[in-house]
Chains A and B, each alone.
Chain A
Amino acid sequence: MAEIRVMRDDLLPPRSTERRHLLSITDLSRDDVERLLATARSFARSLEREMKKLPTLRGRTVVNVFYESSTRTSSSFELAAKRLSADTMSIKASGSAVDKGESLKDTALTLGAYDPDVIVIRHPQIGAAQFVARVTKAHVVNAGDGKHQHPTQALLDLYTLQEEFGRLDTLHVAIVGDVLHSRVARSLIQALALVDARVTVVGPPPLIPRGVEAMGCDVSTDIDAISAADVVYVLRMQQERMQEGANYVPSLREYTARWGITPERLRAGQKVMHPGPMNRGVEIDPRVADAADALIESQVRAGLVTRMAVLYDLLTTGPVGVKVQSLHEVA
């Protein structure tokens, strides 16, 4: 944790190191997580100043490629890059060559031809970020790949928890809802396991992935299991999963009655988190969402500084993430 030199405005531009990526929480060690959170805290202090922009990544280019709609993630990555003085470019799938049927490989090669330092990608398919890391020279940050991973969300959640509780180890977090379709849940379970927090996942049996215990969590289908937790982390109930015939749960009404988070189901002082966007009145009662114990806005604020820390870490010294073999090395 020695190298938090960021705060000095006279810092030299960071030197380029070997290619590194943030594709999955499994790429990180506990040391990596602690360093990233410490860096994020330093950035949070710097943002309290009148002049919020740091020259740290001046001359660097960060490309955001979003194949799925996003408010929080795309805006916070863009602002994070701007706060660090990097040049940014944001590409959305709609209105780009993707509409004309361009493959992910060709899009990645095209963007890679501009020699960006970082490509931030969100894509509906599992493994998309790994794939881009294999075909370009840029550092790649996974901003969500299908139901697989959303590592920066997990990091910002850890940051929020650390700020709120002053510790991460021994915290007990209940993750409630549609774990099966949630990349947020997968990354968060792994991240909490990494820092020795305890996790219980709670939800309807068809929405709990078979074998999920192997990731280091307890499993319950009974909503009462949340009572022992310090924090209730509510997952978004994705409406599209509830279409007729899917039969994960018989109806949203029944889901809400059984697993919805209401004030009555919470202990006094129990904190509530949600990655957004919320379905008020479905997985979370509006009274819970607006209560003082909800950390939901803190999560959004944490998103900015955490993503600044990730960009900084990738482009400077810290050994975040793994090297990915290039296609040429493999094939």
Chain B
Amino acid sequence: MLYAKHAPGENLIVQGARVLDPGEAIDAVLDVRIDDGTIAELASRLDPNAHRVIDGTGLVLAPAFVDPHVHLRTPGREDEETIASGTRAAAAGGYCAILAMPNTDPVVDSSAVLGSLIEAAEAEAEVPVGFLASITKGQQGAELTEMAELADAGAAGFTDDGMPVVAPGLMRRALQYGAVTGRPLAVHCEEPTLSRGGQMHEGAVCAELGFAGYPSVAESVMVERDLSLAAYEQRPVHVLHVSARESVDAVRAAQAGGVGATAEVTPHHLCLTDDAVRSLDSNLKMNPPLRSSDDRSALVDALRDGTIQAVATDHAPHARHEKEVPFEAAPFGVTGLETSFAALYTHLVETGLVPLETLLERMTTGPAGIYGLPAPRVAVGERANLVLLDLRASRRVEADDFESRSVNSWLLGERLTGKVTTTIAAGRVVHAS
């Protein structure tokens, strides 16, 4: 389900780092030896022999991250992102695996399109990448794709992300038929007659700025509907990019009721509120929109208590000229792969809202579990998927520093603490700074 260009595993030794893997209950200063890309030994003071030495002194060595929600814009908008640039961006952000959404041009709705993406990934992906296929043909919300064939061809899951499956009857069929694929169904929850024309969260800031509002209920009614259908069909469902307190409440209630419901949240929804939109910066325009501070605290609470299992960047690159317009004319979406850890470390961990261990879990095991991907672990015998983090380093986010082809980051100019210094994905170093 994950594809990358073939490269042999490296012989590495990471010396003197604080090894932190909450899942393995490790938090100790250790050396980690990697033979041919596989973790071979964890001990204090290992002999490097002929292995390449990476000095981890003063750094944290943790399982590398998994991003369950990325837009690679390929095929169709290679000017905004390619598999090569998007996976380089992922490497820079500390990711060892990412999942790409199917809302491309053409849509990933046939095994032919999926096959060409897998072929491209095997030629150019720096970091293993998986591809979701669409639930409906052309994401038109009318006919199911050939889900079984797509699953056999390697689809990591199914979603019409970017738009909802509007008709409840069709959503029900997707849940029913999707069972034969063994792959998760991920839903973009938006009731289009409630969100229509909406530019930002409906509330006091929106009232003042004059935008058409995109109310939180436009999301939560759809979350509630999809969870009801999932409960009725006794099928799991993954809720993409939740933004509203009511959505969180619905997910929590469904989980308590035995529904296999999972959810993800983006760094920008965890760090910002609709108040930020006062700047009218088009890099603060995304779907779903930034919501109220009450919504934000519900998201932070849900991330901490595990109602939300995963941080997902919803990395959405856009061409510079398409974002250099008045807010209303700009497309929805912001980038996130290269800034997610630093943003969350600065806004959630340093402020004491979320423990570092929890954040790491929600960026590794959490998202991997949703899609049945192997969880990155610091354990002997595991493929090396590791990230070295400098928790004291601070840097200003600059447009020139991105590996992504697009620079529509909501963090431009902001100073962040926490830096990914090295990423090891599938047994080899894919990023070092």
Taking beta carbons and an 8 Å cutoff, which residues of A are in contact with B?
A: 103-105, 123, 125-128, 130-131, 145-149, 183, 186, 190, 209-215, 327, 330-331
What CA separation (Å) do A331 and B324 show in the bound complex? 11
What CA separation (Å) do A211 and B206 show in the bound complex? 8
Could you say which residues of chain A place their CB within 8 Å of the CB of B413? 330
Nearest CB of B to A258, in Å: 22
| A187: nearest chain-B partner, CB-CB | B210
| B205: nearest chain-A partner, CB-CB | A211
User: Contact: A125 with B204, CB < 8 Å?
Assistant: no
B198-253 interface (Cβ within 8 A of A): 199, 202-211, 213, 215
Which of B53-61, B109-117, B155-163, B325-333 forms contacts with chain A?
A: B325-333
What CA separation (Å) do A104 and B328 show in the bound complex? 13
| A105: nearest chain-B partner, CB-CB | B324
What CA separation (Å) do A309 and B96 show in the bound complex? 60
Q: Is B392 an interface residue (CB 8 A)?
A: no
Could you say which residues of chain B place their CB within 8 Å of the CB of A210? 202-203, 206-207, 213, 215
User: Contact: B324 with A130, CB < 8 Å?
Assistant: no
What CA separation (Å) do A103 and B320 show in the bound complex? 13
Interface centre among B202, B205, B282, B326 (most CB of A within 10 A): B326
User: Contact: A126 with B207, CB < 8 Å?
Assistant: no
| B399: nearest chain-A partner, CB-CB | A331
Given A210-B213, A211-B203, A125 contacting B208 (CB threshold 8 A): no
| A183: nearest chain-B partner, CB-CB | B210
**A and B contact pairs by CB, cutoff 8 A, 24 listed:** A103-B321, A105-B325, A123-B326, A125-B326, A125-B327, A126-B199, A126-B209, A126-B211, A126-B328, A127-B328, A131-B280, A131-B326, A146-B210, A147-B210, A148-B211, A210-B213, A211-B205, A211-B207, A214-B204, A215-B207, A327-B324, A330-B281, A330-B412, A331-B407
User: Contact: B207 with A148, CB < 8 Å?
Assistant: no
| A212: nearest chain-B partner, CB-CB | B207
Could you say which residues of chain A place their CB within 8 Å of the CB of B326? 104, 123, 125-128, 130-131, 145-146
User: Contact: B325 with A131, CB < 8 Å?
Assistant: yes
Could you say which residues of chain B place their CB within 8 Å of the CB of A127? 280, 282, 326-328
Could you say which residues of chain A place their CB within 8 Å of the CB of B281? 330
User: Contact: B328 with A211, CB < 8 Å?
Assistant: no
B 389-433 to A, binary, CB cutoff 8 A, 1 in contact else 0: 000000000010000000100001100000000000000000000
B 175-214 to A, binary, CB cutoff 8 A, 1 in contact else 0: 0000000000000000000000001001111111111010
What CA separation (Å) do A147 and B202 show in the bound complex? 14
Nearest CB of A to B336, in Å: 17
What CA separation (Å) do A103 and B259 show in the bound complex? 49
Could you say which residues of chain A place their CB within 8 Å of the CB of B329? 104, 125
Nearest CB of B to A204, in Å: 16
B 21-57 to A, binary, CB cutoff 8 A, 1 in contact else 0: 0000000000000000000000000000000000000
| B407: nearest chain-A partner, CB-CB | A331
What CA separation (Å) do A10 and B204 show in the bound complex? 49
Report which of B203, B204, B210, B327 forms a contact with A186, defined as CB distance below 8 A: B210
Nearest CB of B to A126, in Å: 5
Nearest CB of B to A101, in Å: 12
Nearest CB of B to A328, in Å: 10
Report which of A104, A131, A148 forms a contact with B210, defined as CB distance below 8 A: A148
What CA separation (Å) do A126 and B197 show in the bound complex? 13
Could you say which residues of chain B place their CB within 8 Å of the CB of A105? 321, 324-325
What CA separation (Å) do A6 and B211 show in the bound complex? 39
| B213: nearest chain-A partner, CB-CB | A210
Could you say which residues of chain B place their CB within 8 Å of the CB of A125? 325-329
Given A130-B280, A210-B203, A331-B399, A215 contacting B325 (CB threshold 8 A): no
What CA separation (Å) do A125 and B207 show in the bound complex? 15
Given A210-B202, A211-B203, A331-B412, A103 contacting B210 (CB threshold 8 A): no
What CA separation (Å) do A147 and B325 show in the bound complex? 16
Given A149-B210, A210-B213, A126 contacting B325 (CB threshold 8 A): no
Kindly list the 10 A-B residue pairs having the minimum CB-CB distance in the complex, ordered from nearest: A147-B210, A211-B204, A209-B207, A214-B204, A127-B280, A125-B326, A148-B210, A127-B326, A125-B328, A127-B327
User: Contact: B207 with A214, CB < 8 Å?
Assistant: yes
What CA separation (Å) do A148 and B321 show in the bound complex? 23
Excluding A103-B325, A127-B326, 9 further A-B contacts by CB distance (< 8 Å) are A103-B321, A105-B321, A126-B199, A126-B211, A147-B211, A211-B203, A211-B205, A214-B208, A331-B399
User: Contact: B209 with A148, CB < 8 Å?
Assistant: yes
What CA separation (Å) do A127 and B329 show in the bound complex? 10
Nearest CB of A to B282, in Å: 8
Nearest CB of B to A171, in Å: 22
Could you say which residues of chain B place their CB within 8 Å of the CB of A213? 204
What CA separation (Å) do A183 and B204 show in the bound complex? 15
What CA separation (Å) do A123 and B413 show in the bound complex? 28
What CA separation (Å) do A126 and B285 show in the bound complex? 13
What CA separation (Å) do A205 and B145 show in the bound complex? 43
What CA separation (Å) do A209 and B324 show in the bound complex? 28
What CA separation (Å) do A154 and B202 show in the bound complex? 24
| A211: nearest chain-B partner, CB-CB | B204
What CA separation (Å) do A186 and B210 show in the bound complex? 8
What CA separation (Å) do A229 and B48 show in the bound complex? 84
What CA separation (Å) do A56 and B87 show in the bound complex? 60
What CA separation (Å) do A103 and B321 show in the bound complex? 9
What CA separation (Å) do A199 and B414 show in the bound complex? 38
User: Contact: B412 with A209, CB < 8 Å?
Assistant: no
Interface centre among B210, B325, B399 (most CB of A within 10 A): B210
Nearest CB of A to B339, in Å: 15
What CA separation (Å) do A204 and B327 show in the bound complex? 28
User: Contact: B208 with A215, CB < 8 Å?
Assistant: yes
Nearest CB of B to A242, in Å: 16
Given A126-B280, A130-B280, A104 contacting B325 (CB threshold 8 A): yes
Interface centre among B199, B205, B213, B325 (most CB of A within 10 A): B325
Nearest CB of B to A150, in Å: 10
What CA separation (Å) do A126 and B399 show in the bound complex? 25
Interface centre among B204, B206, B208, B281 (most CB of A within 10 A): B208
Could you say which residues of chain A place their CB within 8 Å of the CB of B202? 210-211
Could you say which residues of chain A place their CB within 8 Å of the CB of B321? 103, 105
Could you say which residues of chain B place their CB within 8 Å of the CB of A330? 281, 412-413
Could you say which residues of chain B place their CB within 8 Å of the CB of A145? 326
Nearest CB of B to A319, in Å: 20
| B413: nearest chain-A partner, CB-CB | A330
What CA separation (Å) do A209 and B282 show in the bound complex? 22
What CA separation (Å) do A186 and B207 show in the bound complex? 8
| A132: nearest chain-B partner, CB-CB | B326
User: Contact: A209 with B213, CB < 8 Å?
Assistant: yes
| B292: nearest chain-A partner, CB-CB | A211
